[in-house]
Amino acid sequence: MEAGNLVEILVATHNAGKLAELRAIASPWPVRLLGLADRGIELAVEEDGDTFDQNALIKALALHQAAGGWVMADDSGLCVDALDGAPGVHSARFAGPDATDEDKISLLLQALDGLEAEKRGAAFHCSLALVSPDGRTRIYRGKTLGSIALVPGGAAGFGYDPVFIAAGGQRTLAQMSPEEKDAISHRGRALRALLQAEFPIGETGRGDL
């Protein structure tokens, strides 16, 4: 569905923080991102894939079957070197299905207790699956290298942001402004790649639709 000159894309999320972040990143492009709550959709999908790509595609295809049109779903997670890539695809459920962000952060810091800074390397990964109205699928990816802080810092963002320090920086993602975080985040990189490929902005600053 198109609203004026904007292409509406339904995003498979109930996470208000994630949706606000995606909307801010997408603001230069000729798209309008809608969350599941905007359409009154309840989507229960078992994310049983082994990779971020698989889980993103599982969600996107389920949503496309339910709603049609343009749909998008992401699967993102934190991969910690010292934990052999964990929590990875289980990042959201790392401390159990009903755990809060604080619970997940606390468990992560416990798992890394005693490790010095140079052994706390990590990376945020994001896979974004896009399904067009005719059912074609594409996947775009983003990655941000960094490390896990010794203690949480900052109140912005969500998820593991308070303990993730991007490579070359000294502040956590939760200590950055939204604009600073969006410029370097895994989700920002994946979404910009998707939007530029699918809805490119021309020299006039308008989408070439």
* Catalytic residue IDs: 75
Is 23 in contact with 35 (CB distance < 8 Å)? no
- According to DSSP, residue 50 is labeled S
Cα(45)–Cα(94) distance, integer angstroms: 18
Cα(170)–Cα(167) distance, integer angstroms: 8
Structural tokens at position 77: 């997670």
Cα(7)–Cα(27) distance, integer angstroms: 12
Cα(55)–Cα(45) distance, integer angstroms: 9
Total residue length of the chain: 209
Name the residue type at position 47. E
Q: Which residues contact 164 (CB under 8 A, 6 or more apart)?
A: 78, 122, 124, 146, 147, 148, 149, 172, 173
